[in-house]
Amino acid sequence: MRIPTASGTLVFDVTEAGPYLRSWGPDGGPPPPLPAHVPFATRADAQPVLVTAAGTRHVHRGELLVRRADGRTGVRLVPGETTISEDGTRTRLSAVWRGEGLEVTVYVQGDTRNDAVAQWAQVRSTGEEPMWLTRAFGGAWDLPVGPGARVGALAGEWSRELTPVTVDLPAGTFAIGSRQGVTSHTYAPVVTVAPREGEGAYAVALAWSGSWSMTVDAAPFADRVRVGAGTDDETGVILLEPGASFTTPRTYAIRSENVDDLSRAWHAFERIELRRDSSTHHHPVVYNSWYATEFDVQVDHQLALAERAAAIGAEVFVLDDGWFHGRTSDASGLGDWHVDRAKFPDGLAPLIDGVRGHGMRFGIWVEPECVNSDSDLFRTHPDWVYRAGDRPLVTSRNQYVLDLGRPEVEAFVADMLRDLLGRNDISYLKWDMNRPVSDGGRPTDPHGSEWSIQHTRAYYRLLELVRAEFPYVTFEACASGGGRTDLEVLRRSDVVWASDETGPRDRLAIQHGFLSAYAASWLSSWVTDEPDRLDTDDGPVSLTFRFLVAMCGVLGVGGDLLAWPEQDRKLAASLVATYRKIREVVLEGEVHRHGDPADQQYAVEYRTPEQRVVMVFTRGGHRDPVRLTGVSGGEHLETLGPDGTLQDAGAVTAGQAAEGLWAAHRAARDADLLVITNRGAGT
């Protein structure tokens, strides 16, 4: 059985234990040998298979852990039918296992338009008794990279998200996850898995935005390394009542010749499969006033900022936190989603009208999943927050998390969104979530241990509501920076705020990690006045450097424009205009990252068939020519002038094509931009 993708084919064979992924390569690839016999192992343990359970196999971690009322654990899975079906560009394998009151169907689906292959499972109760699933991963990826693996992950913390880490795993289990109710700053749900020596690489991502778990299991000396992922299996327990079923989140896997190519395969998949459209409407140049005002929101001040934002070319003006009732600091008001009359005596209309009068769209910030204890919402509904019985409530940023899985809480948020977006001329929404869940659960509810699944599904429904009922609203996902960066968030949002860190060199490092798995068209990035906190050895950078960092994705500005000198605002206006010229290439282009942001020189290249855009960042006066594969001479070169405009630098010479391109004004700049247009293609 074969599942074709854009540039490869997955071949499945069926054994007595059920189907397994035999090989994956450009033409199916060579089949790695199946272990014929392993001494001191059961037959089931010796065979690769899409899904296993404790009770069926015992060497690898099972994807399914079942507990029953009588204390028995596990399930003996017996393979049933395996079928394959085609629907347009998609091919889907469906494989069934049954045993002891359970039916498990694993789906594997590929698409010839991209290279990511989805896998998920439906677990259905066919018995008479309730069961508890303490782990329910949607099948596993048994990848032929062993023995052992070189595993790559994106790790971090607040303000330092998505830092690439690599682990040499000769044997053992590499485990990452989140117990925080959100994807988390700690790990992104994506790994790369490559042989410890030799060619070929795989990546696996979990498409889920609540608590989660992912493991890379390298049994000693085994040819295959098993990657499994799903909802959190530490605190989350799913009650499966008789006749009920649970559909797992999807994992996606990609195969490539090397780890670097995996990023481009992810981007292509995300652009084709997850992005709602390619218009610039949903990728506008934003001005966000948070860094300029924080909670001190005043109409006249915002209008003054809006005037300056319009003058530099911003397309949307976003009013961040601080606009709603009683929100004078982070200690009060959260949950009371009506405009603060002390700050806006005539409502939002005067500000929105002013912003619209400057030719910009208007956007606003919300954080619907949380509440301050000092709020009317909490005073009215103290029972709506997560709490573990009498255990004292824990605050983080002075707030609690609402139990969004409760229908009345979801309905409250839906009403709030409809009211806010329906009554006001708002076309950009930034949705934030600023604390982890520490006491999730609903102690008296038999389904209370599924809180993170219910919460996450409600969050998805609310995002879908916004998209369906207010399709012109651009959606920015945020969770105190990059706490919710994953494939399902990408599917339902237009841009993602990758981090609260906007110091330019620190930000560049975060973006380098972001781009290893997530496409540039989601990368919301603003130019602010914030200094670097970590990468300070080379001192402050130029305004052009700051802009080019933000131009690596969806450009925004968040600095205090009233404090910027006129020359900076002039330069900013030119750089915004330059960005608009290259925006399509940045959003659509193939991304090639040259080096590492910690290097003396680092570049990010965006490539379409007609044009390349290259952002170059340097340190300590270091200047190297930028070498680009596939530039042969004769292409038209433009570089960035000191005034922020693109300047004609003539045709690329044969020497430059061979030796590399010098960035313009190389003696005086810490960052530069090259635009290379193929002969015959218009600019």
Tell me the residue nearest to ligand GLA as measured from the CB: 321
Query: Least distance in Å: CB of 516 to ligand GLA?
Result: 22
Q: By C-beta, is 115 or 320 nearer to ligand GLA?
A: 320
Phi and psi torsions of 253, nearest 5°? -130, 150
Q: By C-beta, is 123 or 417 nearer to ligand GLA?
A: 417
Would you state the structure tokens that stand for residue 427, as one six-digit string?
A: 């076309």
Stretch that binds ligand GLA, among 402-410, 476-484, 540-548, 638-646 (CB under 6 A): 476-484
Would you give the binding string for ligand GLA spanning residues 222-261, x where CB under 6 A is met?
----------------------------------------
Is residue 592 within 8 A of residue 605, CB to CB? The reply is yes
519 touches ligand GLA (CB under 6 A): no
Q: By C-beta, is 320 or 403 nearer to ligand GLA?
A: 320
Would you state the structure tokens that stand for residue 260, as one six-digit string?
A: 């670097």
Q: By C-beta, is 364 or 453 nearer to ligand GLA?
A: 364
Q: By C-beta, is 178 or 289 nearer to ligand GLA?
A: 289
Would you give the binding string for ligand GLA spanning residues 420-459, x where CB under 6 A is met?
------------x-x-------------------------
> Which residue in 12, 174, 344, 365 binds ligand GLA (CB under 6 A)?
365
Strand 286-288 with 131-143, pairing: unpaired
> Which residue in 63, 161, 233, 320 binds ligand GLA (CB under 6 A)?
320
DSSP symbols for 430-492? EE---S--SS---TT-TTGGGHHHHHHHHHHHHHHHHHHH-TT-EEEE-BTTBSS-SHHHHHH
Stretch that binds ligand GLA, among 10-18, 148-156, 478-486, 549-557 (CB under 6 A): 478-486
Would you state the structure tokens that stand for residue 180, as one six-digit string?
A: 């925080």
Q: For residue 672, give Cα distances in angstroms to 214, 218, 258.
A: 39, 44, 29
Q: For residue 350, give Cα distances in angstroms to 6, 306, 422, 424, 558.
A: 51, 12, 17, 11, 22
> Which residue in 161, 217, 321, 635 binds ligand GLA (CB under 6 A)?
321
Stretch that binds ligand GLA, among 195-203, 251-259, 382-390, 475-483 (CB under 6 A): 475-483
> Which residue in 290, 451, 579, 617 binds ligand GLA (CB under 6 A)?
290
> Which residue in 62, 481, 556, 597 binds ligand GLA (CB under 6 A)?
481
500 touches ligand GLA (CB under 6 A): yes
Is residue 210 within 8 A of residue 197, CB to CB? The reply is no
Query: Least distance in Å: CB of 235 to ligand GLA?
Result: 25
Q: By C-beta, is 122 or 163 nearer to ligand GLA?
A: 163
Between CA 403 and CA 441 the distance in angstroms is 8
Q: Active-site residue among 320, 374, 432, 494?
A: 432
Between CA 230 and CA 211 the distance in angstroms is 9
Would you state the structure tokens that stand for residue 217, as one six-digit string?
A: 């299991």
Residue 488, phi-psi category: left (phi > 0), alpha (psi -120 to 50), beta (remainder): alpha
Between CA 351 and CA 323 the distance in angstroms is 11
Q: By C-beta, is 227 or 479 nearer to ligand GLA?
A: 479
> Taking each helix axis from N to C terminus, what angle separates 407-423 and 451-469, rounded to the nearest 10 degrees?
20
Partner residues linked to 332 by β-bridges: 374
Q: For residue 620, give Cα distances in angstroms to 286, 534, 644.
A: 31, 17, 22
Q: By C-beta, is 476 or 488 nearer to ligand GLA?
A: 476
Stretch that binds ligand GLA, among 20-28, 474-482, 567-575, 608-616 (CB under 6 A): 474-482
Phi and psi torsions of 582, nearest 5°? -105, 0
Encoded amino acid at 281, one letter: H
480 touches ligand GLA (CB under 6 A): yes
Q: By C-beta, is 9 or 511 nearer to ligand GLA?
A: 511
The alpha carbon of 11 is separated from its chain's Cα centroid by a whole number of angstroms, namely 29
478 touches ligand GLA (CB under 6 A): yes
Residue with tokens 């005596």: 345
Stretch that binds ligand GLA, among 109-117, 268-276, 473-481, 537-545 (CB under 6 A): 473-481
SS3 262: helix
DSSP at 441: -
| Residues contacting residue 130 through CB under 8 Å, at least 6 positions apart | 69, 239, 240, 241, 242
First to last CA, the chain: 47
Q: By C-beta, is 214 or 401 nearer to ligand GLA?
A: 401
Would you state the structure tokens that stand for residue 82, as one six-digit string?
A: 């395996």
Residue 40, phi-psi category: left (phi > 0), alpha (psi -120 to 50), beta (remainder): left
183 touches ligand GLA (CB under 6 A): no
| Count of C-beta atoms within a 10 Å radius of residue 250 | 22
Q: How many residues bind ligand GLA (CB under 6 A)?
A: 11
Between CA 387 and CA 397 the distance in angstroms is 17
Query: Least distance in Å: CB of 323 to ligand GLA?
Result: 11
Partner residues linked to 163 by β-bridges: 155
Between CA 624 and CA 333 the distance in angstroms is 53
Q: By C-beta, is 237 or 319 nearer to ligand GLA?
A: 319
Q: Active-site residue among 500, 506, 532, 672?
A: 500
- Residue 500 catalytic? yes
Instruction: Kindly calculate the radius of gyration of the chain based on its CA atoms and give it in whole angstroms.
Output: 26
Between CA 98 and CA 55 the distance in angstroms is 13
24 touches ligand GLA (CB under 6 A): no
Active site residues: 432, 500
Instruction: Please report, as ranges, the residues that interact with ligand GLA according to CB under 6 A.
Output: 290, 320-321, 365, 432, 434, 478, 480-481, 497, 500
